[in-house]
Amino acid sequence: MRLLSSLVLLIAAPAALAVKSQDFKTCSQSAFCRRGRALADRAELSTSWVSPYSVTPSSISISPQQASFTAAVKSSLYPDINFGLDVRVHKDGVVRVRMDEVGGLRKRYDEAASWALVAEPDISQDIKWTVSASDVRAVYGDRKEIEVVVSFEPLKVALYRDGIEQVVLNGRGLLHMEHFRAKAAVAEDAPPAADDAQVVMQTNPRAWFEGEEEDGYWEEKFNTWTDSKPKGPESLSVDITFPNHGHVYGIPQHATRLSLPTTRGADAHYSDPYRLYNADVFEYLADSPMSLYGSIPVMHAHSAQSTVAVFHAVASDTWIDVARPAPGATETHWVSESGILDLFIMPGPTPDAVFGQYARLTGTPALPAQWALAYHQCRWNYISSDDVRDVQRRFDEADMPVDVFWLDIEYAEEHKYFIWDKKTFPDPVDMTHDVEAIGRKMVVIVDPHLKRADNYPVYKEARDRGVLVKSSGGENDFEGWCWSGSSAWMDFFNPGSWEWWKTLFQTQPRGDGWTWTESTVDTYIWNDMNEPSIFNGPEISMPRDSIHYGGWEHRDLHNINGMLLPNLTSQGLMARTNPPKRPFVLTRSFYAGSQRFGAMWTGDNLGTWEHMAVGVRMVLVNNIGGFSFAGSDVGGFFGNPDPEMLVRWYGVGVFSPFFRAHAHIDTKRREPYLLDEPYKSIVRSMLRLRYSMLPVWYTAFREASVTGVPVLRPHYVAFPRDEAGFALDDQYFLGSSGLLVKPVTEKGVTETAVYLADDEVYYDYFTHHAYRGASAGGKYVTVPAGLEEIPLFVRGGSIVPTRERPRRSSPLMKYDPFTLRVALSTGGTARGELYLDDGETFAHEEGQLVWREFSARTDGSARVVRIGSRDLAARKPAEAVDGVALAQYDGANVYARTIADVRVERVVVLGLAARPTSVRAGGDELQWEYSSGTAADDKTQGTASVLVIKDPGVGVAADWEIVVEA
Ligand code: NOJ
């Protein structure tokens, strides 16, 4: 049998084409992906497959001061080619493994980490390497439970915890760094074709490893495009195995489930690997491994015993196969078009520990301005200043809160961003001031393609500064087609663009260049099309052989490209005022580290139930990938949702970190005030619910901005040992608040099943109905889910702070009183947190903040419940990331004084065992009402008892205690 040839045929078989997917490559249409999968196939079929890569023991050089070593690596197939290995253990136990070609014909792109990392990580000075004849190893951790072993022959890296293998690199021998080679030399060296695999292996081991043919080494065609490949083959294949983890999560962005389905093996769910290649996919599928607008190459592996993760700092087109060779084990195979191996292994052992480890690498999400967590109203397009004013008026008339109005590309004359079309927007600054009157904001779109017109100052200045991307060969500015017609693209890799781009956002004139004087300091920015999207380019993007600053080809850095625009734009917004205000930038494209610059959304979703449902999952996955500030277009970008669908979509949006309605230019107007009753009132209540919960969202974002633990937490994060919840991705917890939500994403639903993971009581947020979970393996309960209902629960043991006065915008809530919902646990206790600051500046970094802990304790007899508030910031002087702020913290800080009069106006206690006899604060009897409910004493199913304490006379930022006696 012609073994090798038949394999080639097998992988070249066309994959099933789906709607609009013909514009994008499948693995079999991508030469390096074909090569990578073929390598895996040959390894799979061989009983004697051994990785050709090995460490040269004599080359090992251990740093005397730090836990790092370097070593030479050789491939037995190419004895003349040299590779260098660099392994280090960071202070927090993360292992970084780098491998590059040394002294090759060219240099591989090695700068991905420099864009993704927040800083160069500190290397441990305590951990020591031990070298033996066969490996280098280090043991560390509080209990010396972690061991990392780098084996020499073949090269393999394994991380163990408590003697159990957690992560193995090159365990399957698929590591392959295609070295740079000269075209002619390879042609002469071409291996003879052979029929028999064993013969090939013995007579021509290179062909056995790399394949018999030079598959797409020097040129590649796709549809009408030809990719000239002047550097030749340089792909990187690496297998990463999690031998004891049955679930993997992460690698956003794909429209798929949270627990990633398999792509290889007999039971493969998808036929193609997951792809990371930022792309503007028109009408994307709701269930697919295709790449979408952003890429975060971080993958978590989880089991009931352990969580670990890997982050591969590679920026080129990357395909990832996932297989489950046995239950409880996961194999992955990562194939990238170019770049070095730069892999971070995060040892866990829990989801929260992994989030912290990843946040120390790439940064935590920026704490957004508080208004950015409120409701955003967008449409392509509000067509004039008067249209904007009219929409604002109608929201107010309908008593619907909204904080932000958005303008899409039609505000800009000929799509020259920043330049108002004066026919329709004659008075942009006045219009913006009208919006700002009650604290609202404007967000305006600025895309990275610049119309090639001499009368467009932004293009002209960019061209004259030489900061545009060059076409293949590097001589001329690249030219492509986008909204603005013939366009050029900013090259933000060029440092010469940085300070200049930031100055564009200045609202004051500047002598030597253009500034946006027709904007205000409350104009914020939407960066779209930054994959980059190029209508006449291959895969709707930039040709891979285009040239960026430093001579790098676009293929090397494609996935980072989109992140630089929001990075610099957010810096530009901060530079507008002194002191700076927190920026807001929405981006469509993203990479690891993008969480530091703003929010993202899931792009052009369809107005279908499937897209609504997968949007919830995509936002959850983004949270796992470190980027919590995420949402999908409420209503669906394409299509005209019927009222039921629109209402449900608002239900999804209310529980998304980023909450924005948006619609395609061809859709009918669908602002919520246009709805008929009862839909209009339902949406009004939902919007008000979001506003009432802004303190919860803000507290959750603040926690994420300090710890990296995401704002939305799927079940496996909240209950890491409960296997039954590991694949759950349609319900989730909001921060540490104890709120559990299951947005309804199906038509015609009146009730739904909600999973309760533990033996605790869960109170329906609205009706106070109590549901009890089960101790082992969790339990599903059926809950009402009619159109006017959002299944929302407070887990017993939580205290939820809200603000319930309806307002037109969130800044108007600044001094509003609070309600505390005290949801007693089965043991009669509860706790919660509230974080507050001015919501718009960086004064919190100097300790201008209020951080409270609320608690409810019960004495042994459960006849006395003490509900109290205390200062949490004062108790956490050295908290991790913002230790500086808290070190300077003073309970009587300026911000705290501004809210000294802000009260708690109501305390609602759920689940008291008996009617109180007295409710006192500071010795005074308070006003209260009690209804006994129907739930049994142990809080099993039935309506919970409700005690409402009215105006207890306590400040939200003060210490106090309320004593409830039965
Ligand atoms: C594509 C974006 O995804 C969409 O939200 C926007 O409305 C259009 N570009 C027009 O700017």
The residues pairing with 248 across neighbouring beta strands, listed in sequence order, are 301
Contact of 215 with 35, CB cutoff 8 Å: yes
Choose the residue to mutate in 408, 633, 638 for probing ligand 1, maximizing ligand atoms within 8 Å of C-beta: 408
Whole-number Å distance, alpha carbon 608 to ligand 1 midpoint, is: 18
Whole-number Å distance, alpha carbon 601 to ligand 1 midpoint, is: 11
Q: How much is the pLDDT for 586?
A: 98
| Cα four-point dihedral sign 497, 498, 499, 502 | positive
Radius of gyration (C-alpha) of the chain in whole angstroms:
29
Which ligand 1 atom is the nearest neighbour of the CA of 447?
11
What pLDDT band is residue 198 in, cutting at 50, 70 and 90? low
> Which residue's CA is the nearest one to ligand 1's atom 4?
604
Give the residue-averaged pLDDT of 351-371: 97
> Which residue's CA is the nearest one to ligand 1's atom 7?
380
Helix (H), strand (E) at residue 177:
strand 176-177
Q: How much is the pLDDT for 156?
A: 98
Whole-number Å distance, alpha carbon 646 to ligand 1 midpoint, is: 19
Q: How much is the pLDDT for 190?
A: 52
Within 8 A by CB and 6+ apart from 511, the residues are none
Which ligand 1 atom is the nearest neighbour of the CA of 380?
7
528 is catalytic: yes
Whole-number Å distance, alpha carbon 528 to ligand 1 midpoint, is: 7
> Of 528, 556, 671, 816, which one is the catalytic site residue?
528
Nearest to 595 by CA among 501, 690, 442, 710: 710
pLDDT over threshold 70, residue 388: yes
Q: How much is the pLDDT for 12?
A: 34
What pLDDT band is residue 200 in, cutting at 50, 70 and 90? low
Distance CA(35)–CA(336), nearest Å, equals 11
Give the residue-averaged pLDDT of 674-701: 98
Give the residue-averaged pLDDT of 533-544: 98
Q: How far is CA 385 from the centre of its chain?
A: 34
Higher pLDDT, 193 or 288: 288
Higher pLDDT, 878 or 553: 553
Q: How far is CA 434 from the centre of its chain?
A: 34
Whole-number Å distance, alpha carbon 666 to ligand 1 midpoint, is: 12
Q: In this structure, which amino acid lies at residue 38? A: A
Find the residues whose C-beta lies inside 6 A of ligand 1.
380, 408-409, 445, 528, 588, 603-604, 637, 662
Q: How much is the pLDDT for 879?
A: 55
Whole-number Å distance, alpha carbon 416 to ligand 1 midpoint, is: 15
Higher pLDDT, 943 or 188: 943
Which ligand 1 atom is the nearest neighbour of the CA of 588?
3
Q: In this structure, which amino acid lies at residue 611? A: H
Q: Which domains does the chain have, with CATH numbers?
A: 7-44+180-228 (no CATH), 53-178+235-362 (2.60.40.1760), 370-447+495-532+558-705 (3.20.20.80), 734-965 (2.60.40.1180)
| CB half-sphere exposure, 873, CA atoms < 13 A | 32
Q: How much is the pLDDT for 212?
A: 87
Which ligand 1 atom is the nearest neighbour of the CA of 408?
11
Higher pLDDT, 203 or 584: 584
Distance CA(204)–CA(189), nearest Å, equals 11
**CB atoms < 10 A from the CB of 202, how many?**
11
Whole-number Å distance, alpha carbon 661 to ligand 1 midpoint, is: 12
Q: How far is CA 717 from the centre of its chain?
A: 15
Choose the residue to mutate in 589, 601, 604, 633 for probing ligand 1, maximizing ligand atoms within 8 Å of C-beta: 604
Choose the residue to mutate in 280, 381, 406, 529 for probing ligand 1, maximizing ligand atoms within 8 Å of C-beta: 529
pLDDT over threshold 80, residue 19: no
Three-state SS at 273: coil
Give the residue-averaged pLDDT of 603-632: 98
Q: How much is the pLDDT for 195?
A: 56
Q: How much is the pLDDT for 5?
A: 36
Whole-number Å distance, alpha carbon 585 to ligand 1 midpoint, is: 15
Longest dimension (CA), the chain: 95
Which ligand 1 atom is the nearest neighbour of the CA of 633?
5
pLDDT over threshold 60, residue 878: no
For 850-866, how does the pLDDT look when each residue is reduced to its tens digit (9 = 90+)?
999 999 999 767 689 99
Which ligand 1 atom is the nearest neighbour of the CA of 603?
3
Give the residue-averaged pLDDT of 115-132: 97
> Of 212, 331, 337, 531, which one is the catalytic site residue?
531
Which ligand 1 atom is the nearest neighbour of the CA of 378?
7
Give the residue-averaged pLDDT of 290-298: 98
Give the residue-averaged pLDDT of 303-330: 98
Give the residue-averaged pLDDT of 563-575: 98
Q: In this structure, which amino acid lies at residue 130? A: T
Whole-number Å distance, alpha carbon 380 to ligand 1 midpoint, is: 7
| CB half-sphere exposure, 33, CA atoms < 13 A | 21
> Of 539, 604, 722, 729, which one is the catalytic site residue?
604
Three-state SS at 556: helix
Choose the residue to mutate in 283, 380, 601 for probing ligand 1, maximizing ligand atoms within 8 Å of C-beta: 380
Distance CA(601)–CA(434), nearest Å, equals 27
- Helix then strand then coil, in percent of the chain rounded to 5, is 25, 30, 45
pLDDT over threshold 50, residue 103: yes
Nearest to 84 by CA among 64, 67, 68, 66: 68
Three-state SS at 327: coil
Contact of 596 with 574, CB cutoff 8 Å: no
| CB half-sphere exposure, 191, CA atoms < 13 A | 21
Q: Which long-range contacts (CB under 8 A, 24 or more apart) does 465-470 make?
A: 465/496, 465/497, 465/500, 466/494, 466/496, 467/491, 467/494, 467/496, 467/497, 467/500, 469/542, 469/546, 469/547, 469/548, 469/554, 470/546, 470/547, 470/548
Question: With the CA atoms of 784, 788, 792 and 796 taken in that order, what torsion angle do they form, in degrees rounded to the nearest 10?
Answer: -70
For 755-807, how does the pLDDT look when each residue is reduced to its tens digit (9 = 90+)?
999 999 999 999 999 999 987 779 999 999 999 999 999 999 999 999 999 99
For 252-265, how does the pLDDT look when each residue is reduced to its tens digit (9 = 90+)?
999 999 999 999 99
Whole-number Å distance, alpha carbon 376 to ligand 1 midpoint, is: 15
725-749: b or e for each residue (b if 16 or more CB lie within 10 Å)?
Answer: bbbbbbbbbbbbbbbbbbbbbeeeb
Choose the residue to mutate in 292, 382, 531, 637 for probing ligand 1, maximizing ligand atoms within 8 Å of C-beta: 637
Whole-number Å distance, alpha carbon 664 to ligand 1 midpoint, is: 7
For 145-193, how does the pLDDT look when each residue is reduced to its tens digit (9 = 90+)?
999 999 999 999 999 999 999 999 999 999 999 999 999 654 445 555 5
Average pLDDT, the chain: 94
Whole-number Å distance, alpha carbon 631 to ligand 1 midpoint, is: 15
Please give the share of the chain, as a percent, with pLDDT higher than 90: 89
833 is catalytic: no
pLDDT over threshold 80, residue 2: no
Quote the pTM value.
0.96
Q: How much is the pLDDT for 712?
A: 98
**CB atoms < 10 A from the CB of 960, how many?**
17
Distance CA(658)–CA(31), nearest Å, equals 38
Please give the share of the chain, as a percent, with pLDDT higher than 70: 94
Q: How much is the pLDDT for 863?
A: 86
Q: How much is the pLDDT for 189?
A: 52
